[in-house]
Structure 1
Amino acid sequence: MPKTGAVSDDTMLAARPVASRPRRRVWMLGPALVAGVAYLDPGNVASNMTAGAKYGYLLVWVVVLANLIAWLVQYLSAKLGVVTGQSLPELLGARFRRRGPRIAYWLQAELVAIATDIAEVIGGAVALQLLFGLPLVVGGVITGVVSLLLLTVQRQPRTFEFVIMGLVAVIAVGFVAGVFVAPPSASGIASGLMPRFEGSGSVLLAASILGATIMPHAVYAHSALARDRFATSTVAVPRLLRATRWDVSIAMAVAGAVNVCILLLAASALTGVGGTDTLEGAYAALHDGVGPVVATLFAVGLLASGLASTSVGAYAGAEIMHGLLHARIPLLVRRAISLIPALLLLAIDADPTQALVLSQVVLSFGIPFALIPLIALTARREVLGRYRNRVLTTVAGVAASVFLIVLNGMLLVLLTSEA
């Protein structure tokens, strides 16, 4: 597999021989399912729950649109890793000629990684408090320690994938079960598919949903996960890309369904109920209105979400530093350091749900910095050769980037006018 990230001869890209014994496509699934856990983190839960509780079905269209954009983004990220044998941070690091811009780009990417960690650790801490009554700081420490244990299997990609996929199954059951107990309104869902906003609060939540769904660190991580998984593969590139499309489709279908179900559950069971704009309030309302089983499953799903996503976030942060600064620190050390901001917020009694939602807004502002370079690189022949984007793919990527930038601009104007 080429390792330079700049290929001018298409035949080099297809030179990987086909394995003498055909491998089943299922063997090639996994990287997207791991990266996709970023779309099921506690930030998604907080954003979607808050949106459903406050605005009912209004923002269903945002969740659906975000998932469609996410499919395109994650496929392009994986394709970049499969074809070039390098991650997006590595390719960008090689293209920044001057140290200053490279460090500036790394700083914003690290800010995104920190915001991700805050959401994941706080989510795990809230879940442990709901389930066992633990203080938030203690729950945050436990979440961090368990995530460190999960990272010990990261050097074995297949084992790591199975662990994460097991947690994804728990997340799906935990968040989807309530929809069958409290079915949403069909007419409400239909109305929620019509794009519209109701005031600056709904714009803020839309940006939060987009930031939680289209995760910048997932873009960086997916290219690295694909690179690591297929680094020694003897399967031809076209077949790997076909399997990758299936991998991404399955991952995004799962993530999209769960996210929609979270919002629908809140819209059907929590709209108009006081105090449901927090995770704790939502849990209490579910417990009283839908039943203790659904409420407990919700808390278990939230805990699995925090544990799984924090491991993937740490992996992404390490790849960002390696690719842009050409430096590595031990993954476990990095994870321990990245816990500090989240634990500080818990220690000063910051509102957990508000911190989660605002962390997703920070992520939404980091999206263009990951998405624009990704679209640009995957459209260039010298990077991907004959596997570069088709014109329609590039147009779709540009349109998604423009939409996200405009939404963030609206958000900034609205927040400034209300300050």
Structure 2
Amino acid sequence: MKKSESLSEVHQSVDTGKRKGWRRILSFIGPAYLVSVGYMDPGNWATDIAGGSKYGYQLIWVLLMSNLIALLLQSLSARLGIVRGLDLAQASRNAYPKWVNIPLFGLAQTAIIACDLAEIIGMAIGLNLLFGLPLIWGISITIFDTVLLLFLMNKGMRKMEAFIVSMVFIVGLSFLVEMFIVEPSLKEIVKGLEPSVLSGDALYIAIGIIGATVMPHNLYLHSSLVQTRNFKRDFEGIKEALKFNFIDTAVALNLAFFVNAAILILAAAAFYKNGLHEVAEIQDAHKLLGHIFGNVAPALFAIALIAAGQSSTVTGTLAGQIVMEGHLNLRIQPWLRRLITRLLAIIPAFFTILYFGNDALSGLLILSQVVLSLQLGFAVIPLIHFTSDKKEMKGFAIKTWVKILAWTSALIIVALNIQLVIEEISGWGKEINNWYIYALIVPVAVIIALLLVYIFIYPFIKKNREDSHNIPHGIALDIPDTQIKPYQKIGITVDFSKNDRNTIQQALKQGGKMASYHLIHIVETAAARYHGTSAMDHETQLDAENLEKYCANLEKLGYKAFPYIGYGSPAKAIAEITNKQELELLVMGAHGHKGLKDLIFGTTVDAVRHKIGVPVLVIR
């Protein structure tokens, strides 16, 4: 049976019911910290450094405004997951037509790849700055983050959260020490919190700060992560969960704000005050810190960059799983899904360095932020629709004043990001001066804009309709009273291990002495893979003898049994025998492998059931 929960491996894995007092509050703390790392990733660093070096403390208020918008939207995301038990992608699949969810998935996945691209580049730069490791090698080794994530997921949600919080702590501590080294002006910091009129480059950088701060994948992620908490799902239980998760969100995002503000203040105090107004690249910032403050500040800077990149890649890959399962209801092996997400981000970075050199990475970082900005509206607008729905939110729909703030925030985000995209496309057109920039990119941008309008209007038009696709798994069907026909031909897979006895006994219970039993064993030796039925190596002969013994044993007990030997790939060979012999039921033994063993040994059952059209009974 398919698991339908968001992040099913860790769904409701953290029990909150047995804890009291402050321990109960702590049991809800965690999801927002995983989300907060996206607000202090290497993509943010570039915009913060550019803003601080060029305009000093002037843009701190933009960071504060971005943080307040993020706090509002993340609290809505948590509300959706807690109240409805759906992540944002699942809610979109239930609310919008199927054809809409395909481009929604494509846009969300592209944004996650773009975000992951920024994390990979940032981490590779950090490794280069700290250890002198070439960027091409730094990018290559980030593929092992997939193994780290698989390990953390198998250890449980709390272990993963502990890892992420430790990374956030390293980033925060590094910048706290750097604040003492650079000694910023407190008076000018306070003055920077006062809103000012922005134009030209200042407006452009401000848009970049907002675009890099309010990330769409965090909304998908948060709505899923809050579901890892197991609490009583009555009115009081949901109300308490909402309260504790808001505290979690407020604390985590304010910490992220202080880290972002610290980066901007560092750039202002170190570069702006020293007349270095054009510092936009992370490597330049690291180098200049060394010239101005000695060796400690740049080392801390590089350590923080590695920690930020590492933690952000873990959460970005999780978001990739959520959007694939949510929008498409497509579930593949966790390790494979995470590997695909990572490879799709590594490949562009890898080839950019190979063909254009290390200097082109900064341009790739900017491009990733533009791609990221395109998807914001497609996450924010549905989120506001879903949390405003009084029928679905069951008394927990957002209040009118929150709705006004949310729609205003959405308008600001979408308008500013549209402006950013228009300016970027215009810039490409002027620099490259090729007709295909306008012939290809502009039509795509227009189609995406029309889809955004549709996403906004559709819930208003279809608000009152009753439709079965709004229910996650459809409607329960009537079961007709039919004559139950016993299974006549039952297949049993055997591997001559201690599990065979239980597997065969359970199979015999399904058909009794009226059915025929077809014992299947697959030989996987090199000879069997290459020579198939003509293979007569020692293992093949021994397996054939053992299979005959099983059949003889069953015949003594009064059962009809037939032996079948297959060769090569177990899943393919078992499916071929099942289909050829027209079996009605297949009984298979599962070995209960976990983690890496499941990766190596435990995938046959899952592969077989996709290749045959008869029921599969799995025996542990």
TM-score of the aligned structures, taking structure 2 as reference length = 0.62
What amino acid sits opposite 1:250 in the alignment?
V
Contact kept in structure 2, 1:49 and 1:263, CA below 8 Å: yes
Alignment of 1:214-233 (within 5 A): 214-230=214-230
1:106–1:321 Cα contact (<8 Å) kept: yes
Cα offset, 1:231, TM superposition: 7.1
Name the counterpart of 1:108: 107
User: Is structure 2 residue 244 aligned with structure 1 residue 246?
Assistant: no
Task: Using CA pairs under 8 Å that are at least 6 residues apart, name the structure with larger relative contact order, 1 or 2.
Answer: 1
Q: Distance in 2 between matches of 1:53 and 1:189?
A: 14
* Structure 1 match to 2:256: 255
Q: How many percent of aligned residue pairs carry the same amino acid?
A: 35
Matched, 1:409 2:410: no
CA deviation after TM superposition for structure 1 residue 191, in Å: 4.1
The 3 A distance-change label for structure 1 pair 405 and 255 is same
Whole-Å separation in 2 of the counterparts to 1:122 and 1:232: 43
Distance 1:354 1:382, change over 3 A: same
Do the aligned partners of residues 128 and 283 (structure 1) sit closer, same or farther apart at CA in structure 2, a change above 3 Å counting?
same
- Structure 2 segments unaligned to the other structure (5+ residues): 7-15, 431-620
Q: 1:386 to 1:122 in 2, by over 3 A?
A: same
Q: Which residue of 2 aligns with 1:322?
A: 325
Residue ranges of structure 1 left out of the alignment (5+ in a row):
6-17
CA distance in structure 2 between the partners assigned to 1:357 and 1:57 by the alignment:
22
Q: CA distance change for structure 1 residues 168 and 4 in 2, over 3 Å: closer, same or farther? A: closer
1:187-240 per-residue CA deviation (whole Å, 9 max, x = no partner) reads: 4334433233241x3333222211221110000000011113337889811111
Contact (CA 8 Å) 1:148, 1:311: kept in 2 or not? Answer: no
Q: Which stretch of the first structure deviates more once superposed, 137-146 or 290-299?
A: 137-146
Distance 1:151 1:170, change over 3 A: farther
Q: Distance in 2 between matches of 1:269 and 1:4?
A: 48
CA RMSD of aligned residues (A): 2.4
Q: Which residue of 2 aligns with 1:12?
A: none
Structure with the bigger percentage of helix: 1
* Partners of 1:42 and 1:356 within 8 A in 2: no
After superposition, where does 1:42-81 map in structure 2 within 5 Å?
42-81=42-81
Residue matched to 2:315: 312
Q: In 1, Cα distance between the equivalents of 2:127 and 2:18? A: 50
Cα offset for 1:340? 2.3
Q: Report the alpha carbon displacement of residue 148 of structure 1 after superposing the two structures with TM.
A: 3.1
Higher deviation after alignment, 347-356 or 303-312: 347-356
Give the residue type in structure 2 aligned to 1:316.
A
Q: Is the 8 A contact 2:53 2:278 kept in 1?
A: no
Please name the residue that 1:14 is paired with.
Answer: none
Q: How does 1:169-318 map to 2 (within 5 A)?
A: 169-193=169-193, 194-199=195-200, 201-230=201-230, 236-271=237-272, 272-273=275-276, 276-318=279-321
Show CA shifts across 1:136-173 (max 9, x none): 11001222313531342124111111111111101111
- Residue deviations 1:112-152 (CA, integer Å, cap 9, x gap): 01111110000000000001111111001222313531342
The number of aligned residues is 404
Q: CA deviation at 1:378?
A: 0.4
The match for 1:365 is 374
Shift in Å, 1:409:
3.0
Written as runs of structure 1 = structure 2, the 5 A alignment for 1:148-163 is: 148-155=147-154, 156-163=156-163
Which residue of 2 is the match for residue 340 of structure 1?
Answer: 347
1:378 counterpart residue number = 387
The question of whether the paired residues in 2 share the 8 Å contact of 1:315 and 1:331 is answered with no
Q: Please report how far the alpha carbon of residue 82 of structure 1 lies from its aligned counterpart in structure 2 after TM superposition.
A: 1.0
- What secondary structure does 1:387 align onto? coil
CA-to-aligned-CA distance 1:322-381 (integer Å, 9 cap, x gap): 000110233332333333233333333253333223322322222111111111100111
Alpha carbons 1:80, 1:88 under 8 Å: kept: yes
> What is the correspondence of 1:128-139 to structure 2 with a 5 Å cutoff?
128-139=127-138
Higher strand share: 2
- On the 8 A contact 1:86/1:223 being kept in 2, the answer is yes
Larger Rg: 2
Is the Cα–Cα contact under 8 Å of residues 208 and 358 in structure 1 kept in the other structure? no
Residue type at the aligned position of 1:384: M
